Amino acid sequence: MKAVFLRTPTNRPLVYRKRVARVDAGVRPGEWVAVYAEPDILLGYGVYNPRSEIIVRILRFGSQLPDETYWNATLSKALELRRDLLGLDDATNAYRLVHAEADGLSGLVIDRFDDVLSAEVFSLGLWQRAEEILGHCAKLCGTRHVILQPSPQILSQEGFDVSPIVSPGAPREVTIQEFGTRFRVRFEGGHKTGFFCDQRDNRRMLASFCRGKSVLDLCCYTGGFAVQAKKLGGANEVIGVDLDEAPLALARENADLNQARIRFVQADVFPFMRDMLRADRQFDVVVLDPPKLIRSRNELDEGTRKHFDLNRLAMQLVKPGGVLLSCTCAGLLDWESFLKVLHSAARQAGEPLPLVEGEEFARRNPRSMQILAKTGAAMDHPIGSNSPETEYLRAVWMRMG
C-alpha cells in the first residue's frame, strides 16, 4: 500500500496539504494510503486526494485498515448513541445518524428521515465508498431507501463532479414528526440532506417562550421554528419570512399539516425588518437563523458584517423584555467572535441621542441585553474531541431590555 508521510504526528482526521512531507509515487485520487509521521511512525489509514487542500482524511487510527467489520462497528456505535443513549426514536423519526469526523467517518453525514437515509458527501474517497457504507447502515437501521448527494462545493474543494444517487423506488418526500409536530421533508432541491435536524432541541426550547406571544421567524426556510412556536408553543401570532419561494411553499404545507395559522412572507429580511421598524412594529419573540454566510476565510469579514447588520435590525424588533434567538451555522465564526458581534449590535440597536457640542455623530442609547443561554446543535450532532470543526452551530438566547 502506498503511503503519505507527515512532517509531525497528528491525532486529527483532517490532514491538510501543508502538513505533508512527501507522498509515494503513483497514488491515485481516492485510494487508501497508510499515513506515517516521518520517518516511520504509522498513524493510521485514510483516503487520499491530491486535488483537495484536505489531502488525506484519516478514517482509522492504528495499525489496521478499515474493513467490513470496522464499518459495521463504527456505524453500530453511532446508532447506539442516537437510539440507546439519547432515545431519539421516542421523540422523532428524523435525526443525524452519522456526523462526519465526530462519528469516525470524515467527509460523510447521514440523516435518517423515517424510511430514508439521506447522505451528503464532502470527499472523493468517501463518495467512492458511500454506497457500501450506506448499505451497512440500512441493514442496521432497517430502512429501505437511500439518497446520496455530493456537497454543493465538492467540485471546487475536491476536484470532481457527480450526480446524486437515489435508490429505486425512493420517495421524493416523506412526513416526519418531531415532538408530535409533523413536517414534510422534500429531498429534491432542498438544502443539505433535506431538513435541519440540528435545530430540533432549539425549536422545542423556543416554544417554551411562546405561549400567547407574538413571534417573528426570520429566514424561516421550511418553517421549523415558526410551526413549533405555534403548534408546540401556543403562540398567539407567528410570522415567518424567507426570500426563497420553494421553501416557503413547503413551510405553508407544514403549517397546514399541523392546523397552525401562520403568516408567511416572501421577502428579503433586510427591507422587511426596516419596514417593520418604520411601522413601529415589535414582537415578543424573534428568531434569526440565517443561512450560512461564511463558507471560507475569504468571506469572513463580509459575513461577519452581515451578521452584525442582521442582528442590529432584529434586536430593534424585540419588545422590551422580549426574547431574541440569534444563530449562526458558520463554523468559521467562533463563539468569541459571534458574541462580539451581538454585543456590538446591541450597542448600535438603541435610539440615537442628540448631538452635543464637539461631536460629529449622534451617540446611541444602547439596548440592554442579557444572555440567557448559549446552545448548539442537538446531541445527535456530537463534537469530536479531535475535530473541533464538528462544532459549527451557535445559538444565543437573549432578553432584550
Question: Do 144 and 289 lie in a common domain?
Answer: no
Region 10-35 average pLDDT:
97
Q: Are residues 310 and 328 in the same domain?
A: yes
The string of DSSP codes covering 91-152 is TBSEEEEEEGGGGT-TTEEEEEETTEEEEEE--HHHHHHHHHHHHHHHHHHT--EEEEEE-T
Range of the domain at 272: 196-400
Say whether both 73 and 53 belong to one domain.
no
- 283, exposed or middle or buried, with CB in 10 Å at 0-12, 13-18, 19+? buried
In whole angstroms, what is the distance from residue 192 CA to residue 194 CA?
Answer: 6
Calculate mean pLDDT across residues 241-257: 96
CATH number at residue 151: 3.30.750.80
Same-domain pairing of 251 and 379: yes
Quick check: 71 and 133 in contact, CB under 8 A?
yes
State the Cα–Cα distance between residues 182 and 199, nearest whole angstrom. 15
Q: Which three cell numbers stand for residue 65?
A: 485498515
Q: What is the pLDDT of residue 350?
A: 76
Q: How far is residue 108's CA from residue 122's CA, in Å, rounded to a whole number?
A: 6
Distance CA 340, CA 357 (A): 30
Return the CA Rg of the chain: 23
> Are residue 217 and residue 332 in the same domain, yes or no?
yes
The CA distance from 119 to 384, in Å, is 19
Query: Residue 105: which residues within 8 A CB-CB, separation 6 or more?
Result: 59, 74, 98, 126, 133
H/E element holding 206? helix 200-207
Task: Evaluate whether 229 touches 235 at the Cβ level (below 8 Å).
Answer: yes
Last residue of a domain, one of 172, 204, 233: 172
Looking at the structure, tell me whether residues 32 and 102 fall in a common domain.
no
Please check whether residues 277 and 218 belong to one and the same domain.
yes
**246 phi and psi, to 5 degrees?**
-65, -50
* Banded model confidence at residue 374, pLDDT cuts 50, 70, 90: very high
pLDDT of residue 108: 97
pTM for this model (two decimals) = 0.93
CATH of the domain at 52: 2.30.130.10
Which element (helix H / strand E) includes 275? helix 269-278
Pair (9, 137) in one structural domain:
no
* Residue 277: pLDDT over 90: yes
Cis peptide before 39 (omega within 30 of 0): yes
Range 264-281 average pLDDT: 96
**Residue 251 is inside which H or E element, if any?**
helix 245-257
191 inside domain: no
Q: Are residues 218 and 341 in the same domain?
A: yes
Q: What percent of the chain has pLDDT over 90?
A: 90
222 within some domain: yes
What Cα–Cα distance (Å) separates residue 298 from each residue in 15, 293, 301? Answer: 21, 11, 7
The whole-chain average pLDDT of the chain stands at 94
Torsion of CA 140, 31, 66, 160, to 10 degrees: -30
Burial grade of 204 (CB within 10 A; 0-12, 13-18, 19 or more): middle
Q: Which residues contact 237 (CB under 8 A, 6 or more apart)?
A: 213, 214, 215, 263
Q: Taking each helix axis as running N to C, give the angle between helix 124-141 and helix 68-80, from 0 to 180 degrees, rounded to the nearest 10.
A: 60
CB 239 within 8 A of CB 215: yes
184 lies in some domain: no
- Is residue 183 a part of any domain in this protein? no
Last residue of a domain, one of 110, 140, 172: 172
Question: In this structure, is residue 9 part of a structural domain?
Answer: yes
Confidence of residue 302 (pLDDT cuts 50, 70, 90): very high
- What value does the mean pLDDT take over residues 372-387? 97
* 115-164 residue pLDDT tens: 999 999 999 999 999 999 999 999 999 999 999 999 988 999 999 999 99
For the chain, the straight-line distance linking the first and the last C-alpha, in angstroms and rounded, comes to: 63
Name the band, by pLDDT with cuts 50, 70 and 90, for residue 254: very high
Same domain assignment for residues 117 and 42: no
Q: How confident is the model at residue 352 (pLDDT cuts 50, 70, 90)?
A: low
Q: Is residue 231 in some structural domain?
A: yes
Cβ–Cβ < 8 Å for 143, 75? no
CA angle 314, 316, 317 (to 5 degrees): 65
| Nine cell digits for residue 339 | 458574541
Tell me how many domains the chain contains: 3
User: How far is 222 from 43, CA to CA, in rounded Å?
Assistant: 44
Looking at residue 162, the DSSP 8-state letter turns out to be -
- For 177-228, the pLDDT digits (tens) are 999 999 999 998 655 667 899 999 999 999 999 999 999 999 999 999 999 9
Q: Confidence band (pLDDT; 50, 70, 90) for 367?
A: confident
112, 79 contact by CB (below 8 A)? no
**Pair (255, 390) in one structural domain:** yes
Hey, which residues does 58 pair with through a beta bridge? 46
Residue with cell string 419570512: 241
Residues 142 and 200 in one domain: no
The CATH number given to whatever domain includes residue 261 is 3.40.50.150
The β-bridge relationship of strands 237-242 and 214-218 is parallel
